[in-house]
Amino acid sequence: MKQTPTDFRAMKGVEPITMLTAYTCPVARGIEQAGVPVILVGDTVGMVEMGFDSTRDVTIEHMEYHIGAVRRGAKDTHIIGDLPYLTDKDPATALIHARRLIAAGADSIKLEGPKLDVIAHLVAHDIAVVGHTGLTPQTATSFKKVGSTSEDAQRIAEEARDIQDAGAFMVVIEHVPYDLSTRITAELRIPTIGIGAGPDCDGQVLVINDALGLGDYWPPFSKQYAHVSDTILQVAKDFRGEVASREFPNNIIRFTGTGNR
């Protein structure tokens, strides 16, 4: 059954929240079958799937396309859609774009930084909002950890509280010192979801490509549960070899299952 913002708020302090990103239908299907309650269609899609150097190259049309694909694969899972760079530059612009992501299949939207007037405006128009503080890639000049000085830590803690008070039902905290996310998690009423933010957050999110080992760079705080890039290389080599030797298609063992192709 699809979880709602109220369900996620009720999980705070009771049950850790698992979140994975997804960008495609079959991956979303697997995540739903595994019982993960929330999928983030993040603008990381630009970097991990589309080959851009920055999430700033992602457009609202890209997000609509990927949210649609993920929704077709995960009909019963809460989907968060990321508002791309500048599509949330003011409250009215953000509402137009948030409605497009909801129409594409998202249940809620996520936006980066303390855009408190934008969050309040979306919530006032019945759009459920997830905040994002700490490292915010759309405006960051590097991907290094943030919040290591006491001034920066204080700024991020205040941002998280302001995001909550503006009406967000959940907040992602990215790449900050563990003691800072512990403090924020204790201070907020809404769940915190950490990425590179230590074990004390109310939940954890991983970029699915990092978890799959699909790509060529893994952030140090991520974990590779598989090595799919190695599998792709091996499959392509095997296929190439078998076509060259004419082994394929002569060696096919016919699949007689329920496939539809």
Catalytic residues: 174
Task: Supply the minimum distance, in Å, between the C-beta of residue 196 and ligand KIV.
Answer: 9
- Rounded to whole angstroms, the Cα distance separating 103 from 90 reads 20
Residue whose CB is less far from ligand KIV, 127 or 205: 205
Task: Supply the minimum distance, in Å, between the C-beta of residue 132 and ligand KIV.
Answer: 6
Which residues are at the interface with ligand KIV (CB under 6 A)? Answer: 21, 40, 42-44, 82, 132, 172, 174, 195, 205, 207
Residue whose CB is less far from ligand KIV, 44 or 192: 44
Inter-residue contact 169 to 8 (CB < 8 Å): yes
Residue 123's alpha-carbon distances to 64, 102, 117, 129, in angstroms, are: 20, 13, 10, 7
Report residue 8 as tokens: 């996620």
Residue 205's closest CA among 25, 37, 26, 23? 37
Cβ-based burial of 199 (10 A; exposed 0-12, middle 13-18, buried ≥19): exposed
Residue whose CB is less far from ligand KIV, 21 or 87: 21
Inter-residue contact 194 to 171 (CB < 8 Å): no
- Rounded to whole angstroms, the Cα distance separating 208 from 41 reads 10
- Rounded to whole angstroms, the Cα distance separating 20 from 207 reads 6
Residue whose CB is less far from ligand KIV, 82 or 88: 82
Task: Supply the minimum distance, in Å, between the C-beta of residue 135 and ligand KIV.
Answer: 9
Residue whose CB is less far from ligand KIV, 45 or 122: 45
Task: Supply the minimum distance, in Å, between the C-beta of residue 75 and ligand KIV.
Answer: 21
- Rounded to whole angstroms, the Cα distance separating 152 from 235 reads 47
Task: Supply the minimum distance, in Å, between the C-beta of residue 238 and ligand KIV.
Answer: 32
In the block, tokens 């137009």 appear at 96
Residue 235's alpha-carbon distances to 175, 228, 230, 242, in angstroms, are: 35, 10, 9, 10
